[in-house]
Chains A and B, each alone.
Chain A
């Protein structure tokens, strides 16, 4: 009798523990936040917007017109900080807001201008927050505007925004990477930006630059072309395409680079820092409108030289823009100097912003056409 009683007690204990039911929230009790937006409203308040997926709506596309359910809603709420805003947001939603599936964090224009350096803590400290998200800056609108857009391919906008990173040839850049850039000694960092078009839809518009000396504030934007090169230098680009006019062949040639690499060589001569940026890329020719035939070694060399020159010129222009116009080192050269000359860096660190515009930066580009595609000489209609 005693034994049976003990056994029952143990079994009861096992069942109640193994199931873990008391701590369970069924998915139908949760509101899944798939994308979060951070904005400053027109009257200067912090606003947090959540794009919340409506599972019942997804997969039930309205057939032949008819009102199906929407796939998501976007709800915004003001607050003193992120968690306060989420608390306020919760009052508007009947289900518990669940942040664990957040894929995207968007930063509105005004928010970026005001600085996001003080709003990073919640993402790490709150165990319910999610660090695997990708980050974007919105160039010409609020984050909320982008989130509310009608998606094209996917049921929810956030999926498309995530995919934008890969389709733009960028390497995966998660919130944790952003965080380690933000806390490192780099004086400026870049985040990809999207902008709202009149259609309305969104497009990838290159990088936003944040400077750190006043708490991660927006310092400017690069256009898509500049961003490809800038990302190449900071090793965030996985692939890219370069199109340039080949003078000798009187036409354009496009090279799709499947693997790009970079090396930043720092030298110090008489207390003068010299930076050598060495970029290499390998790829195949995907379009050739010139009269040159890449099947012949001589013409191939001409094409390669011409592409190298054109990339070289663009990159030098970009570096000049960084040094003279923006006066910000968003290439992470400071980090390279620190890694090579840690002792000298201690004195250089405080005046890097003044030093950077006058630093001697040289660029070497080495592009190789490994494959000429499915044609030899250009396919052209003969006049």
Chain B
């Protein structure tokens, strides 16, 4: 199973952009109001820097995934124990995504279809892709679906150009100030820091030297899209309305109305969005089962897919309601990202560097 540089780029760009444009805009606008776009810029720069760090750390251990290099670095037991939080992420994040998106489709389009059916279709197809194609299949899928996803995003921006009310942006900066703007950037940055999945997938690259540049490009492109989406949401609805909308970007797509003729293109945008959700589910399923196999020393990682898929589905099914999922981003931002996105990678990185120095000095 091998990945090219372009595939890494599209994987990162595809899996992150859906949640980015879908769930980060409202929290940012709630905090920093009309200056949320500045928050998004800060979040984007932070996320790009973080993704460089992840890709770099991963290239220090060529051909080893997170669990593998953690085990070689820290030994079988400690190295195995320290990656445990990642499994929580790899199960809970896709579960929350699956349920949220299922609920969303149920709310907006298929109101007479049970959420569980929508979720079974999504997870079923993702399982198929992961099982048959592995990471290469996901990479190829992202390579094809990604450009469509971005095209649909850009189209929705362009078609909204006539709806913009520029005075919504004023006053710039002075009402919020740096502290508020930084606070507003935390949630989007934590979502974009999801790129710590790179710690696993970079090991599959043909040419790992490209990893930092390609992943930074990917995250950068996502950040750019999220920034434009936020900026335009503010300009279309104003900060007061957008902070109350749960899916402001979707509402913005819905408000497209050109010459009373081009309307209701939300269906097409959602259609393409599903590609992104699907790619993300498949990727997490792959990472989860591959790493689970590495963790438990199971030879054939495909056997663990069924456990992962069932686990994700059951967890998604058991979530009582959307209000409950609302807690997840907070838990994500304050616990999961600091631990899995910053704490453990930093620890692994410092151990790597120390070991290298020790090796050097012992040679001398």
Interface residues of A (CB under 8 A from B): 17, 20, 22-23, 100, 124, 127, 131-132, 174, 176-177, 179-180, 183-184, 335, 338-340, 342-343
Evaluate contact between B174 and A343: CB separation under 8 angstroms: yes
Evaluate contact between A339 and B244: CB separation under 8 angstroms: no
- Given A23, A131, A132, A177, which contacts B165 in the complex, CB threshold below 8 Å? A177
Evaluate contact between B113 and A339: CB separation under 8 angstroms: no
Evaluate contact between A180 and B110: CB separation under 8 angstroms: no
Evaluate contact between A179 and B241: CB separation under 8 angstroms: yes
Q: Would you give the 0/1 interface string for B162-185, flagging 1 where the beta carbon is closer than 8 Å to chain A?
A: 000101101100110000000000
Query: From residue A261, how far is it (CB to closest CB) to chain B in Å?
Result: 13
Evaluate contact between B170 and A184: CB separation under 8 angstroms: no
Query: What residues of chain B lie closer than 8 Å to A176, measured between beta carbons?
Result: 236-237, 241, 255
**Measured between alpha carbons, how far is A180 from B163 in the docked complex, in Å?**
13
- Given B107, B110, B171, which contacts A339 in the complex, CB threshold below 8 Å? B171
Query: What residues of chain A lie closer than 8 Å to B171, measured between beta carbons?
Result: 338-340, 342
Most chain B C-beta atoms within 10 Å of own C-beta, residue among A17, A23, A335: A23
**Measured between alpha carbons, how far is A179 from B263 in the docked complex, in Å?**
20
Evaluate contact between A339 and B167: CB separation under 8 angstroms: yes
- Given A174, A183, A335, A343, which contacts B255 in the complex, CB threshold below 8 Å? A174
Given contacts A124-B245, A339-B170, A343-B174, contact A180 B238 (CB under 8 A): yes
Given contacts A23-B110, A23-B113, A132-B263, contact A180 B237 (CB under 8 A): yes
**Measured between alpha carbons, how far is A35 from B176 in the docked complex, in Å?**
40
Evaluate contact between B240 and A180: CB separation under 8 angstroms: yes
Evaluate contact between A183 and B111: CB separation under 8 angstroms: no
Q: Looking across the interface, which residue of chain A has its beta carbon closest to that of B168?
A: A180
Evaluate contact between B241 and A183: CB separation under 8 angstroms: yes
Query: What residues of chain A lie closer than 8 Å to B241, measured between beta carbons?
Result: 176, 179-180, 183
Query: From residue B22, how far is it (CB to closest CB) to chain A in Å?
Result: 15
Q: Is B318 an interface residue (CB 8 A)?
A: no
Evaluate contact between B170 and A124: CB separation under 8 angstroms: no
Query: What residues of chain B lie closer than 8 Å to A335, measured between beta carbons?
Result: 167
**Measured between alpha carbons, how far is A338 from B172 in the docked complex, in Å?**
11
Evaluate contact between B111 and A23: CB separation under 8 angstroms: yes
Evaluate contact between B240 and A184: CB separation under 8 angstroms: yes
7 additional A-B pairs beyond A127-B111, A174-B257, A339-B171, beta carbons within 8 Å, are A22-B113, A23-B112, A127-B108, A131-B255, A176-B236, A176-B237, A339-B170
Query: What residues of chain B lie closer than 8 Å to A22, measured between beta carbons?
Result: 112-113
**Measured between alpha carbons, how far is A215 from B168 in the docked complex, in Å?**
22
Interface pairs (18), CB distance under 8 Å: A17-B121, A23-B110, A23-B112, A100-B264, A124-B244, A131-B251, A132-B255, A174-B255, A174-B257, A176-B237, A183-B241, A183-B244, A184-B238, A335-B167, A338-B171, A342-B171, A342-B174, A342-B175
Query: From residue A172, how far is it (CB to closest CB) to chain B in Å?
Result: 9
**Measured between alpha carbons, how far is A132 from B160 in the docked complex, in Å?**
13
Query: From residue B216, how far is it (CB to closest CB) to chain A in Å?
Result: 36
Query: From residue A351, how far is it (CB to closest CB) to chain B in Å?
Result: 19
Most chain A C-beta atoms within 10 Å of own C-beta, residue among B109, B112, B241, B255: B241
- Given A132, A183, A340, which contacts B238 in the complex, CB threshold below 8 Å? A183
**Measured between alpha carbons, how far is A340 from B107 in the docked complex, in Å?**
41
Q: Would you give the 0/1 interface string for B220-256, flagging 1 where the beta carbon is closer than 8 Å to chain A?
A: 0000000000000000111011001100000100110
**Measured between alpha carbons, how far is A280 from B110 in the docked complex, in Å?**
50
Give chain B interface residues in 95-119, CB to chain A under 8 Å: 107-113
**Measured between alpha carbons, how far is A65 from B165 in the docked complex, in Å?**
49
Query: What residues of chain B lie closer than 8 Å to A342, measured between beta carbons?
Result: 171, 174-175
**Measured between alpha carbons, how far is A177 from B238 in the docked complex, in Å?**
9
Given contacts A177-B165, A343-B174, contact A127 B237 (CB under 8 A): no
Query: From residue A287, how far is it (CB to closest CB) to chain B in Å?
Result: 31
Q: Looking across the interface, which residue of chain B has its beta carbon closest to that of A103?
A: B260
**Measured between alpha carbons, how far is A127 from B250 in the docked complex, in Å?**
11
Q: Looking across the interface, which residue of chain B has its beta carbon closest to that of A132?
A: B257
Evaluate contact between B112 and A131: CB separation under 8 angstroms: no
Query: From residue A191, how far is it (CB to closest CB) to chain B in Å?
Result: 16
Query: From residue A338, how far is it (CB to closest CB) to chain B in Å?
Result: 7
Q: Looking across the interface, which residue of chain A has its beta carbon closest to that of B257?
A: A132
Query: From residue A18, how far is it (CB to closest CB) to chain B in Å?
Result: 11
Query: From residue A24, how far is it (CB to closest CB) to chain B in Å?
Result: 9
Query: What residues of chain A lie closer than 8 Å to B264, measured between beta carbons?
Result: 100
**Measured between alpha carbons, how far is A17 from B122 in the docked complex, in Å?**
12
Q: Looking across the interface, which residue of chain A has its beta carbon closest to that of B104?
A: A127
Q: Looking across the interface, which residue of chain A has its beta carbon closest to that of B263?
A: A132
Q: Looking across the interface, which residue of chain A has its beta carbon closest to that of B238?
A: A180
**Measured between alpha carbons, how far is A22 from B237 in the docked complex, in Å?**
34
Query: What residues of chain A lie closer than 8 Å to B251, measured between beta carbons?
Result: 131
**Measured between alpha carbons, how far is A340 from B237 in the docked complex, in Å?**
21
**Measured between alpha carbons, how far is A342 from B180 in the docked complex, in Å?**
15
Query: What residues of chain B lie closer than 8 Å to A20, measured between beta carbons?
Result: 110
Pick the 10 closest A-B CB pairs, nearest first.
A180-B238, A183-B240, A339-B170, A342-B175, A342-B174, A342-B171, A180-B241, A339-B171, A23-B110, A127-B108
Query: What residues of chain B lie closer than 8 Å to A338, measured between beta carbons?
Result: 171
**Measured between alpha carbons, how far is A20 from B112 in the docked complex, in Å?**
11
Query: What residues of chain B lie closer than 8 Å to A23, measured between beta carbons?
Result: 109-113
Q: Looking across the interface, which residue of chain A has its beta carbon closest to that of B107?
A: A127
**Measured between alpha carbons, how far is A127 from B236 in the docked complex, in Å?**
18
Query: What residues of chain A lie closer than 8 Å to B257, measured between beta carbons?
Result: 132, 174
Query: What residues of chain A lie closer than 8 Å to B109, measured between beta carbons?
Result: 23
Query: What residues of chain B lie closer than 8 Å to A127, measured between beta carbons?
Result: 107-108, 111
**Measured between alpha carbons, how far is A124 from B251 in the docked complex, in Å?**
9
Q: Looking across the interface, which residue of chain A has its beta carbon closest to that of B254?
A: A131
**Measured between alpha carbons, how far is A339 from B167 in the docked complex, in Å?**
9
